[in-house]
Each structure stands twice: as C-alpha cells, then as structure tokens.
Amino acid sequence: MNAQVDRPIGMFDSGFGGLTVARAVIDLLPSENLVYIGDTARYPYGPKPASDVRSFAIELATSLVRDFSVKLIVVACNTAASVALTELQSLLSVPVIGVVEPGARALVRETKNNRVAVIGTAGTIASGAYENAVANASCEITSEVTLTATACPGFVEFVERDETSGAAVTELAQKLLAPIRKADVDALLLGCTHYPYLSAVIGQVMGSGVKLINSADATALVVRDALASNKTARSVDSGERGSHEFYSSGDIKQFAELGRRFLGPELSIAKQWPK
C-alpha cells in the first residue's frame, strides 16, 4: 500500500455540474479514489462577483487538501477556473487542473471551418478566459479561429432543479443561442459543467451541423497525464475500484437523489461539507 497513490483526487463545483467531470474521471480512471464537493448552498456562481467566486474556490480547494489529503485538485467549474485557477495553482501544494484549457483545446481540434463558439455563465464569459485559452490552443493546433462567446444565464438553474427538457428551457435556449446560430460555427463548447445535461435541448436548437464539445473527457485525460507524470497514479492491475465520496454544502438528501440520477450508482450517499 502506497499512501501517496491512494490519496484521493479532489474535485469541486458550485453544485451538480462537476459531476459530468467526475463521471469522465471515474470512467477513465476507475481505480482512483475521489472526493467531490458540490457547493450547492452557494450556487449559482455564474452571476456572483469574481471576488466571491475566488474566495469560495480557495475555501473549497484548501479544504480538499487539509481535510481530505487529496493528491490533485480538479476545478470542475468553469466559473471558478476562469477566475481562480492561477491563484489556486500558486497557493496549493498539489497540482490543480481546470476545465477551461482542456475544453478550449478540444474545441479548436474539432473545427473544420475555423469558426467556433463557447457558452458559459456570465462570470466565465466576462472573465475572457476562453478568448485567451482558444487563442493559445489555436496557436498550438491549427490556424487562427474566430470565437463567439455567449453567456447563458438561467441554464444552470434549470439543471439544478432537474428541468433538462421541456418548453421553458427550449424557449430560453432558442433565445440565448440565437447569436451563435448566426455566427455559422461548426463546433460549440459547453463551457459550463452543468450544460452537458442540456445537450439534447442545445443540440436540437443548434442543429446537426454543429458539434457539441464537452470538456469532461478532455479534462479527465489531463488528470490521467498529470498523475502519470507525477508518479501518483493508483495501479489498475488489481482491478480494485476506487472509493467515491460526495459532499454538499446544501441539502445532502437532495444532492444524493438528484446527483445519483446525474452521475450514476457511485453516488449513493452525500455527506455534509464542511465536515
């Protein structure tokens, strides 16, 4: 037993959205232990001032290191990653991975016509994080791409109340996605970890010519590579599955019920955070 490799991966989001990233990490790295915190008591992060989101992110990430001895942190929230990733990376003693750069690289790789779009919360879009990440990724991967970035206020609230289809959310999507439909893009990044739960609605509104990109799988690959390069990956040879713990700062019963529907059977109970 090697204590270092057995330490969990820590992950946080404002609520259920980061479970899309947790799913991808569990599927790609089934032997890894995982601790997830959904800050449902303080969601949504999107409309809050960047300084508030930054201090929530520092509190959550510090707790993951101090209270759970995590070996690596995934900021499974675009809003928090957009405003706090660099600060977390310099503050903490463990590697910190965000969702913005992996998503931007996946987006740029996908386009054929060099016109792409990202949707995210008001905070993410206002931060300009995607303009930078897409510009960097396009330098690395292809020629210059044109980015249309649009905030989708209200999407997160639909997901958090488990209303992922129906007339109301479709009407909102038609309204919010109109500028992207006009921009003639061929790839759209779901730049909020809640949005993959709205893929059916977003896909229907955008039409089959636009590929929807989700940052979860790309982020899981970055986590795998970071663990491998730090030699902190847990062995897969024994076939032993990792343990998965879920915490919420809000109603833990509701978090377990809805979270299980979103994530799957690994989420059977949720515990209270802070412990």
Q: Which residues bind ligand DGL (CB under 6 A)?
A: 13-14, 17, 43-46, 77-79, 121, 124, 156, 192-194
Q: From CA 215, how far away is CA 89, in angstroms rounded?
A: 20
How many Cα atoms within 13 Å fall on the side-chain side of residue 264? 10
Question: How far apart are CB 121 and ligand DGL at their closest, in Å?
Answer: 4
Catalytic residue among 192, 205, 223, 233: 192
Nearer to ligand DGL, 8 or 15 (CB): 15
Does residue 192 carry a catalytic annotation? Answer: yes
Nearer to ligand DGL, 108 or 159 (CB): 159
Question: How far apart are CB 151 and ligand DGL at their closest, in Å?
Answer: 10
Nearer to ligand DGL, 111 or 214 (CB): 214
Q: From CA 133, how far away is CA 219, in angstroms rounded?
A: 14
In the chain, where do the E strands start and end? 9-13, 34-38, 72-75, 96-97, 115-120, 146-151, 187-190, 211-214, 244-248, 271-272
Tabulate helix, strand, coil % of the chain (nearest 5). 50, 15, 35
Q: Both tokens of residue 219?
A: 């982020």
Question: How far apart are CB 3 and ligand DGL at their closest, in Å?
Answer: 32
- Residue 34, amino acid: L
- Residue 182, amino acid: K
Nearer to ligand DGL, 30 or 47 (CB): 47
Do the Cβ atoms of 185 and 157 come closer than 8 Å?
A: no
Nearer to ligand DGL, 26 or 190 (CB): 190
Catalytic residue among 70, 72, 77, 258: 77
How many Å is the Cα radius of gyration of the chain? 18
Does residue 152 carry a catalytic annotation? Answer: no
Question: How far apart are CB 222 and ligand DGL at their closest, in Å?
Answer: 16
Question: How far apart are CB 30 and ligand DGL at their closest, in Å?
Answer: 24
Q: Angle between the 78-91 and 100-110 helix axes, to the nearest 10 degrees?
A: 130
Q: What is the end-to-end Cα distance of the chain in Å, rounded?
A: 26
**Residues annotated catalytic, as ranges:** 77, 192
